[in-house]
Amino acid sequence: MDYKENFDVKKLTSFKIGGKIARVYFPENVAEFVQVIEKEPSAFVAGNLSNVLVSSDGYDGAVILTKKMDNISFDGNIVTAGAGVRGTKLSKLALENHLSGLEFMVAFPGSVGGEVFMNAGAHGQMIADVLKSAKVYCPEKGVITLSNSDMEFSYRTSICQRKPYSVLEAEFELKEKSTDEIQAKMDENLSFRLSKQPSLTLPNCGSTFRNPEGNSAGRLLEEAGMKGFVSGGVHVWENHANFIINDNDGTSLDVLTVMYEMYKRVKEKFNIKLKPEVRYLGGKNEKEVELCKILYQK
Protein backbone atom coordinates (compact mmCIF):
# COMPACT_ATOMS: atom_id res chain seq x y z
CA MET A 1 0.00 0.00 0.00
CA ASP A 2 1.16 3.52 -0.82
CA TYR A 3 2.15 5.22 2.45
CA LYS A 4 3.94 8.50 3.15
CA GLU A 5 5.42 10.04 6.28
CA ASN A 6 5.69 13.80 6.83
CA PHE A 7 3.80 14.24 3.58
CA ASP A 8 3.72 17.83 2.26
CA VAL A 9 0.07 18.16 1.30
CA LYS A 10 -0.01 21.76 0.05
CA LYS A 11 -0.04 21.04 -3.69
CA LEU A 12 -2.66 18.32 -3.31
CA THR A 13 -5.38 20.48 -1.73
CA SER A 14 -7.80 22.65 -3.70
CA PHE A 15 -6.85 25.63 -1.52
CA LYS A 16 -3.12 25.04 -2.19
CA ILE A 17 -2.69 25.49 1.56
CA GLY A 18 -1.36 23.01 4.12
CA GLY A 19 1.71 21.81 5.96
CA LYS A 20 3.09 18.33 6.51
CA ILE A 21 0.89 15.44 7.63
CA ALA A 22 2.59 12.88 9.86
CA ARG A 23 1.16 9.78 8.15
CA VAL A 24 -0.83 9.50 4.92
CA TYR A 25 -2.25 6.26 3.52
CA PHE A 26 -3.57 5.67 -0.01
CA PRO A 27 -5.59 2.40 0.03
CA GLU A 28 -6.68 1.02 -3.34
CA ASN A 29 -9.65 -1.08 -2.19
CA VAL A 30 -11.99 -1.74 0.73
CA ALA A 31 -9.78 -4.44 2.25
CA GLU A 32 -6.77 -2.11 2.37
CA PHE A 33 -8.92 0.66 3.84
CA VAL A 34 -10.08 -1.65 6.64
CA GLN A 35 -6.48 -2.71 7.27
CA VAL A 36 -5.45 0.93 7.77
CA ILE A 37 -8.45 2.11 9.78
CA GLU A 38 -8.06 -0.80 12.22
CA LYS A 39 -4.42 0.24 12.68
CA GLU A 40 -5.26 3.99 12.80
CA PRO A 41 -8.81 4.19 14.23
CA SER A 42 -8.69 7.98 14.67
CA ALA A 43 -7.47 8.67 11.12
CA PHE A 44 -9.04 11.57 9.22
CA VAL A 45 -10.67 10.25 6.04
CA ALA A 46 -10.95 12.29 2.83
CA GLY A 47 -11.04 11.81 -0.92
CA ASN A 48 -8.77 14.33 -2.62
CA LEU A 49 -8.95 17.18 -0.07
CA SER A 50 -11.08 19.35 -2.36
CA ASN A 51 -13.25 20.50 0.54
CA VAL A 52 -10.68 20.49 3.34
CA LEU A 53 -8.62 23.31 4.81
CA VAL A 54 -5.39 21.75 6.08
CA SER A 55 -3.48 23.79 8.65
CA SER A 56 -0.30 25.44 7.39
CA ASP A 57 1.28 24.12 10.60
CA GLY A 58 0.50 20.57 9.52
CA TYR A 59 -1.24 17.71 11.29
CA ASP A 60 0.35 15.24 13.72
CA GLY A 61 -2.15 12.43 13.11
CA ALA A 62 -2.96 10.01 10.30
CA VAL A 63 -4.94 10.73 7.14
CA ILE A 64 -6.48 8.19 4.78
CA LEU A 65 -7.01 9.44 1.24
CA THR A 66 -9.38 7.28 -0.82
CA LYS A 67 -8.41 8.75 -4.21
CA LYS A 68 -7.01 5.39 -5.40
CA MET A 69 -10.27 3.56 -4.58
CA ASP A 70 -11.52 4.40 -8.06
CA ASN A 71 -13.20 1.29 -9.47
CA ILE A 72 -16.35 1.83 -11.58
CA SER A 73 -18.83 -0.74 -12.90
CA PHE A 74 -22.09 -0.52 -14.86
CA ASP A 75 -24.91 -3.07 -14.72
CA GLY A 76 -27.84 -1.80 -16.73
CA ASN A 77 -28.94 1.41 -15.03
CA ILE A 78 -27.02 0.59 -11.82
CA VAL A 79 -23.61 2.24 -11.40
CA THR A 80 -21.18 1.28 -8.63
CA ALA A 81 -18.26 3.60 -7.89
CA GLY A 82 -15.45 3.62 -5.35
CA ALA A 83 -15.14 6.55 -2.94
CA GLY A 84 -12.18 7.98 -4.83
CA VAL A 85 -13.86 8.24 -8.22
CA ARG A 86 -13.95 11.84 -9.42
CA GLY A 87 -17.50 13.07 -9.82
CA THR A 88 -16.65 14.67 -13.16
CA LYS A 89 -15.38 11.37 -14.56
CA LEU A 90 -18.41 9.42 -13.31
CA SER A 91 -20.92 11.88 -14.76
CA LYS A 92 -19.23 11.71 -18.19
CA LEU A 93 -19.22 7.89 -18.13
CA ALA A 94 -22.93 7.95 -17.22
CA LEU A 95 -23.51 10.17 -20.26
CA GLU A 96 -21.71 7.67 -22.48
CA ASN A 97 -24.06 4.98 -21.13
CA HIS A 98 -27.19 7.15 -21.71
CA LEU A 99 -27.83 7.38 -17.97
CA SER A 100 -29.17 10.47 -16.20
CA GLY A 101 -28.97 11.56 -12.58
CA LEU A 102 -25.32 12.50 -12.13
CA GLU A 103 -25.18 15.52 -14.42
CA PHE A 104 -24.60 17.84 -11.45
CA MET A 105 -21.29 16.13 -10.70
CA VAL A 106 -19.70 17.41 -13.91
CA ALA A 107 -19.07 20.79 -12.29
CA PHE A 108 -17.74 19.46 -8.98
CA PRO A 109 -14.06 19.03 -8.08
CA GLY A 110 -14.69 16.36 -5.45
CA SER A 111 -14.98 12.58 -5.43
CA VAL A 112 -17.86 10.18 -4.82
CA GLY A 113 -17.10 9.56 -1.14
CA GLY A 114 -17.23 13.24 -0.25
CA GLU A 115 -20.26 13.87 -2.44
CA VAL A 116 -22.22 11.10 -0.72
CA PHE A 117 -20.93 12.25 2.70
CA MET A 118 -22.39 15.75 2.16
CA ASN A 119 -25.33 14.87 -0.11
CA ALA A 120 -23.93 17.09 -2.85
CA GLY A 121 -26.25 18.56 -5.43
CA ALA A 122 -27.00 21.34 -7.89
CA HIS A 123 -29.77 22.45 -10.27
CA GLY A 124 -32.46 20.24 -8.81
CA GLN A 125 -30.32 17.09 -8.66
CA MET A 126 -28.64 15.60 -5.60
CA ILE A 127 -27.06 12.41 -4.31
CA ALA A 128 -30.18 11.54 -2.28
CA ASP A 129 -32.22 11.30 -5.51
CA VAL A 130 -30.06 8.61 -7.11
CA LEU A 131 -28.20 6.73 -4.37
CA LYS A 132 -29.43 3.15 -4.01
CA SER A 133 -26.99 2.11 -1.29
CA ALA A 134 -23.61 2.96 0.17
CA LYS A 135 -20.90 0.74 1.58
CA VAL A 136 -19.48 2.46 4.67
CA TYR A 137 -17.04 1.67 7.44
CA CYS A 138 -18.54 1.66 10.93
CA PRO A 139 -16.03 1.45 13.84
CA GLU A 140 -18.34 -0.88 15.80
CA LYS A 141 -19.46 -3.20 12.99
CA GLY A 142 -16.83 -2.91 10.28
CA VAL A 143 -17.99 -2.58 6.67
CA ILE A 144 -21.77 -2.28 6.40
CA THR A 145 -24.21 -1.43 3.61
CA LEU A 146 -26.71 1.37 4.15
CA SER A 147 -29.80 1.91 2.03
CA ASN A 148 -30.87 5.34 0.82
CA SER A 149 -33.21 5.73 3.80
CA ASP A 150 -30.50 4.51 6.19
CA MET A 151 -28.32 7.40 5.01
CA GLU A 152 -30.74 9.94 6.56
CA PHE A 153 -30.11 12.50 3.86
CA SER A 154 -31.10 16.13 4.25
CA TYR A 155 -29.73 19.38 2.82
CA ARG A 156 -25.96 18.98 2.43
CA THR A 157 -25.76 16.32 5.09
CA SER A 158 -26.09 12.60 5.80
CA ILE A 159 -25.77 10.19 8.70
CA CYS A 160 -22.03 10.08 7.94
CA GLN A 161 -21.68 13.57 9.37
CA ARG A 162 -23.43 12.59 12.60
CA LYS A 163 -21.78 9.21 13.12
CA PRO A 164 -18.14 8.17 12.54
CA TYR A 165 -18.93 6.52 9.19
CA SER A 166 -16.59 6.60 6.18
CA VAL A 167 -18.03 6.15 2.69
CA LEU A 168 -16.14 3.45 0.77
CA GLU A 169 -18.37 2.75 -2.22
CA ALA A 170 -21.68 3.97 -3.64
CA GLU A 171 -24.33 2.32 -5.79
CA PHE A 172 -26.48 4.63 -7.92
CA GLU A 173 -29.75 3.87 -9.68
CA LEU A 174 -30.00 6.10 -12.74
CA LYS A 175 -32.57 6.66 -15.49
CA GLU A 176 -32.11 6.13 -19.20
CA LYS A 177 -32.33 9.30 -21.26
CA SER A 178 -31.04 10.55 -24.58
CA THR A 179 -27.49 11.84 -24.63
CA ASP A 180 -28.82 15.19 -25.89
CA GLU A 181 -30.98 15.64 -22.78
CA ILE A 182 -28.15 14.59 -20.46
CA GLN A 183 -25.61 16.80 -22.22
CA ALA A 184 -27.96 19.80 -22.01
CA LYS A 185 -28.21 19.36 -18.22
CA MET A 186 -24.45 19.02 -17.92
CA ASP A 187 -23.94 22.16 -20.01
CA GLU A 188 -26.36 24.01 -17.72
CA ASN A 189 -24.29 23.04 -14.69
CA LEU A 190 -21.01 23.99 -16.34
CA SER A 191 -22.41 27.32 -17.48
CA PHE A 192 -23.66 28.07 -13.97
CA ARG A 193 -20.28 27.26 -12.45
CA LEU A 194 -18.45 29.49 -14.91
CA SER A 195 -20.79 32.41 -14.22
CA LYS A 196 -21.33 32.04 -10.47
CA GLN A 197 -18.31 30.22 -9.05
CA PRO A 198 -14.56 30.79 -9.31
CA SER A 199 -12.49 28.64 -11.61
CA LEU A 200 -10.35 26.02 -9.90
CA THR A 201 -7.35 27.84 -11.38
CA LEU A 202 -8.09 30.25 -8.52
CA PRO A 203 -7.25 28.12 -5.45
CA ASN A 204 -10.48 27.76 -3.44
CA CYS A 205 -12.49 25.15 -1.56
CA GLY A 206 -15.90 25.83 -3.09
CA SER A 207 -18.70 27.26 -0.97
CA THR A 208 -17.38 28.34 2.42
CA PHE A 209 -20.69 28.12 4.31
CA ARG A 210 -23.87 26.11 3.85
CA ASN A 211 -27.05 27.90 2.89
CA PRO A 212 -29.26 28.41 5.96
CA GLU A 213 -32.72 26.88 5.54
CA GLY A 214 -34.74 29.04 3.17
CA ASN A 215 -31.90 31.49 2.65
CA SER A 216 -28.68 32.04 0.72
CA ALA A 217 -25.31 32.28 2.45
CA GLY A 218 -23.94 34.21 -0.52
CA ARG A 219 -26.69 36.82 -0.34
CA LEU A 220 -26.32 37.23 3.43
CA LEU A 221 -22.57 37.62 3.12
CA GLU A 222 -22.88 40.11 0.28
CA GLU A 223 -25.34 42.22 2.27
CA ALA A 224 -22.95 42.02 5.21
CA GLY A 225 -20.29 43.66 3.01
CA MET A 226 -17.92 40.71 2.66
CA LYS A 227 -17.17 40.86 -1.09
CA GLY A 228 -13.50 41.66 -1.63
CA PHE A 229 -12.60 41.42 2.07
CA VAL A 230 -8.86 40.70 2.47
CA SER A 231 -6.87 39.08 5.26
CA GLY A 232 -3.23 38.22 4.72
CA GLY A 233 -2.85 36.25 1.52
CA VAL A 234 -6.53 35.42 0.92
CA HIS A 235 -9.67 37.35 -0.02
CA VAL A 236 -13.40 36.91 -0.48
CA TRP A 237 -14.19 36.58 -4.19
CA GLU A 238 -15.49 39.77 -5.78
CA ASN A 239 -18.22 37.96 -7.77
CA HIS A 240 -19.75 35.86 -4.97
CA ALA A 241 -19.30 36.46 -1.25
CA ASN A 242 -19.37 32.77 -0.22
CA PHE A 243 -16.00 31.91 -1.80
CA ILE A 244 -12.51 32.49 -0.38
CA ILE A 245 -9.62 32.70 -2.85
CA ASN A 246 -5.99 31.97 -1.96
CA ASP A 247 -3.78 34.57 -3.64
CA ASN A 248 -0.91 32.04 -3.74
CA ASP A 249 0.70 32.91 -0.39
CA GLY A 250 -2.30 32.54 1.93
CA THR A 251 -2.21 30.48 5.12
CA SER A 252 -4.83 28.46 6.94
CA LEU A 253 -4.95 31.13 9.65
CA ASP A 254 -5.72 33.73 6.96
CA VAL A 255 -8.63 31.60 5.75
CA LEU A 256 -10.02 31.01 9.25
CA THR A 257 -9.69 34.71 10.05
CA VAL A 258 -11.81 35.53 7.00
CA MET A 259 -14.30 32.78 7.84
CA TYR A 260 -14.68 34.20 11.35
CA GLU A 261 -15.29 37.69 9.96
CA MET A 262 -17.92 36.27 7.57
CA TYR A 263 -19.57 34.38 10.42
CA LYS A 264 -19.46 37.37 12.80
CA ARG A 265 -20.90 39.90 10.36
CA VAL A 266 -23.84 37.71 9.35
CA LYS A 267 -24.57 36.87 12.98
CA GLU A 268 -24.51 40.54 13.97
CA LYS A 269 -26.60 41.75 11.02
CA PHE A 270 -29.12 38.92 10.67
CA ASN A 271 -28.79 36.90 13.90
CA ILE A 272 -28.00 33.83 11.78
CA LYS A 273 -25.14 31.47 12.62
CA LEU A 274 -23.63 30.22 9.38
CA LYS A 275 -22.33 26.63 9.35
CA PRO A 276 -19.07 25.90 7.48
CA GLU A 277 -19.16 23.63 4.47
CA VAL A 278 -15.35 23.51 4.42
CA ARG A 279 -13.83 20.90 6.75
CA TYR A 280 -10.74 21.74 8.83
CA LEU A 281 -7.75 19.54 9.64
CA GLY A 282 -5.16 20.79 12.11
CA GLY A 283 -4.92 21.48 15.81
CA LYS A 284 -1.33 22.64 16.36
CA ASN A 285 -2.00 26.38 16.03
CA GLU A 286 -3.72 27.86 19.10
CA LYS A 287 -5.31 30.78 17.23
CA GLU A 288 -6.78 28.38 14.67
CA VAL A 289 -8.14 26.13 17.41
CA GLU A 290 -9.88 29.09 19.08
CA LEU A 291 -11.44 30.24 15.81
CA CYS A 292 -12.61 26.70 15.03
CA LYS A 293 -14.32 26.43 18.41
CA ILE A 294 -16.53 29.31 17.32
CA LEU A 295 -16.95 28.41 13.65
CA TYR A 296 -17.57 24.70 14.18
CA GLN A 297 -19.27 25.09 17.57
CA LYS A 298 -16.79 22.74 19.27
Catalytic residues: 156, 207, 277
CA distance 146 to 136: 7
Q: 252-270 and 286-295 helices cross at what angle (nearest 10)?
A: 30
In this structure, what DSSP letter does residue 106 have? G
List, in order, residues 6 or more apart from 146 with CB less than 8 Å away: 133, 134, 136, 159, 165
CA distance 247 to 121: 28
Q: What is the largest CA-CA distance in the chain?
A: 54
DSSP 6-46: EEE-GGGSTT----EEEEEEE-SSHHHHHHHHHHSTT-EEE
R_g over Cα of the chain: 19
CA distance 204 to 281: 16
Bridge-partner residues for 234, per DSSP?
231, 246
Helix (H) or strand (E) holding 218: helix 217-223
Q: 179-196 and 87-96 helices cross at what angle (nearest 10)?
A: 150
